[in-house]
Amino acid sequence: MPITQNQGSTAGGQAVTVTGTDLGGATAVNFGTQPAAITGNTANSVSVITPAGAGVMGVTVVTPGGVGGPEPFFYLPPPVILSVSPGSGPVAGGSTITISGRSLASATSVQFGGSTVTPTVVSDQELTVVSPTGAAGAVALAVVTQGGTASTAFSFVDPPTATGFSPLTGLQAGGTLVGITGTNLLTTTGVTFGAVPATFAVLSDTQIAATAPAHAPGTVTITVTTTGGSDAAPGTFLYLL
SS3 content of the chain, % helix, strand, coil (to 5): 0, 60, 40
Question: Can you give the pLDDT of all 241 residues of the chain as single tens digits?
Answer: 688 889 999 999 999 999 999 998 999 999 999 999 999 999 999 999 999 999 999 999 999 989 998 999 999 999 999 999 999 999 999 999 999 999 999 999 999 999 999 999 999 999 999 999 999 999 999 999 999 999 999 999 999 999 999 999 999 999 999 999 999 999 999 999 999 999 999 999 999 999 999 999 999 999 999 999 999 999 999 999 8
Give pLDDT, residue 5.
84
* CA gap 168, 176 in Å, rounded: 10
Give pLDDT, residue 1.
67
Q: Are residues 191 and 197 in contact, defined by beta-carbon separation less than 8 angstroms?
A: yes
Q: Are residues 217 and 174 in contact, defined by beta-carbon separation less than 8 angstroms?
A: no
